[in-house]
Structure 1
Amino acid sequence: MLDTFVRPGKTVPLHTHQWPSTNYLLSWSDFIRRDSDRAVLLDSRSLSPKPATGSAFWGPPLAPHTLENIGESDLHVITVELKYT
């Protein structure tokens, strides 16, 4: 279980998510996800519609990436990774 909290202007260091996950959104802010070469994987400003606070969503495993909060609010997500072997 992960409790991810990213303040505006902050970047989460390079990391991976090896397993799929379910996620619960506590607060939203736009973000940019980049790969290990800094190429943009996702710019949340392109999402339509944007996830609503209080919503749950599925997440696939993710290769090495960073996440930068480019919005004006905190980004806060509770993630439960489904670890299995």
Structure 2
Amino acid sequence: MFVITLRFADKTKAPQFMDGHNAWIKRGFDDGVFLLVGSLQPNAGGAILAHNASPEEIEVRVQEDPFVAEGVVDAEILVSSPGRTDERFDFLKA
């Protein structure tokens, strides 16, 4: 499982790349990799919960985000191996 944070580096460029960023998010859900996408508060960027991919695949996917490629955000990828979950999230266990 991966927790990806996208913290604004240059928010002024965000509107210019928003359509591409939203298409990238949609592709993540369509591919079955993204489980959750939300905003970091207060207005600090975004966070993604992802699974069903290797660390290398996640790295490539994150670099393909127009916000990352164009310096709108700085990305950090955290890797977690869940050992205990609510039963609704058992599919995330290693």
Give the TM-score taking structure 2 as reference length: 0.33
Bigger strand share = 1
Give the TM-score taking structure 1 as reference length: 0.35
Question: Which is greater in Rg?
Answer: 2
Q: Relative contact order: is structure 1 or structure 2 higher (C-alpha 8 Å, sep ≥ 6)?
A: 1
